[in-house]
């Protein structure tokens, strides 16, 4: 019940295309869903996050879509660029815990 | 990297030897975490600390111990390293936001031969 399932494991997108990464969870107590971006040789960095009181959050080219009834959330990268090539992790947590539960990661490659 | 440093950044050691990894933060955060990252497994929590001398286990704590004798340092020790502990280890701190926003250090790549 603590798992966060992430798909796909890897993704190849043409420059200018839309990248979509999906995550699903079981624990209905989760109430905060961040996404992390990790470049090779670096630590993960917080990219964008959403709370379940909204269905969508947008920051620049990055959008989180959230479906509370389906217990799913996804990251959309519009106009994908080669500089977006990285590994992306979704995560989930709840207010009364000190821990983040991470998905297994998606390696995104954007080709020019 | 949110004022987090990790040392060493790279280490190669042999099976059976003890290894200590250090995480140092400069911003007086209460919560600190150790994760390991392996292909296909994402980030898995090893141990975390919620204050000086206050620690708790994560999901993959077997074979690891931690210590936190002062706020700024969180040490991860492999008492007797095994090849299955070859991994990239990340330290993280919890930000001051009420939710679990965590910020990661640059990582330590450990190879156990």
Determine whether the interchain pair B42/A6 forms a contact, defined as Cβ–Cβ distance below 8 Å.
yes
CA atoms B39, B44, B47, B48: torsion sign = positive
- Chain B CA closest to residue A40: B106
Q: Which residues of A touch B40 (CB under 8 A)?
A: 9, 104
- pLDDT band at residue A94, thresholds of 50, 70 and 90? confident
Determine whether the interchain pair B31/A6 forms a contact, defined as Cβ–Cβ distance below 8 Å.
no
**pLDDT tens-place string over residues A42-83:** 999 999 999 888 999 999 999 999 999 999 999 999 999 999
Determine whether the interchain pair A104/B42 forms a contact, defined as Cβ–Cβ distance below 8 Å.
yes
Chain B interface includes A1 (CB < 8 A):
no
> Are A67 and A76 a contacting pair, CB within 8 Å?
no
Chain B interface includes A42 (CB < 8 A):
yes
- Chain A CA closest to residue B37: A104
Determine whether the interchain pair B94/A105 forms a contact, defined as Cβ–Cβ distance below 8 Å.
no
**pLDDT tens-place string over residues A5-18:** 999 999 999 999 99
Q: Residue A67 and residue A75: Cα distance in Å, rounded?
A: 12
Per-residue confidence (pLDDT) for residue B97, from 0 to 100: 65
- pLDDT band at residue A1, thresholds of 50, 70 and 90? low
List chain B residues with pLDDT less than 70: 1-2, 97-98
Per-residue confidence (pLDDT) for residue B98, from 0 to 100: 60
Long-range CB pairs of B27-31, under 8 A, 24+ apart, other chains included = B27/B2, B27/B3, B27/B93, B28/B71, B28/B72, B29/B71, B29/B93, B29/B94, B29/B95, B29/B96, B30/B71, B30/B94, B31/A98, B31/B93, B31/B94
- Which among A32, A34, A42 is the nearest to B106, CB-wise? A42
């Amino acid at each position: 019940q603590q798992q966060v399932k992430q798909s796909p494991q890897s993704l190849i997108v043409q420059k200018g295309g839309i990248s979509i990464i999906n995550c699903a969870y079981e624990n209905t107590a989760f109430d905060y869903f961040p996404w992390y971006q990790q470049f090779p040789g670096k630590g993960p960095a917080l990219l964008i996050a959403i709370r379940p009181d909204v269905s969508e959050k947008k920051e620049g080219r990055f959008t989180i879509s959230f479906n509370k009834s389906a217990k799913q959330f996804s990251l959309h990268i519009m106009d994908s660029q080669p500089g977006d090539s990285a590994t992306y992790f979704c995560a989930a947590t709840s207010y009364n815990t000190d821990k983040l539960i991470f998905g297994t990661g998606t390696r995104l490659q954007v080709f020019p | 990297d949110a004022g987090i440093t990790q040392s060493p950044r790279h280490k190669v050691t042999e099976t059976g030897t003890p290894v200590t990894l250090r995480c140092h933060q400069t911003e007086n955060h209460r919560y600190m975490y150790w994760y390991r990252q392996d292909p296909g497994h994402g980030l898995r929590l090893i141990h975390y600390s919620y204050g000086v001398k206050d620690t708790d286990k994560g999901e993959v704590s077997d074979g690891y111990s931690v210590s936190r004798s002062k706020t700024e340092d969180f040490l991860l020790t492999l008492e007797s390293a095994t090849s299955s502990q070859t991994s990239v280890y990340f330290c993280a701190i919890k930000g001051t936001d009420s939710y679990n926003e965590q910020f990661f250090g640059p990582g330590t790549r450990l190879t156990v031969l």
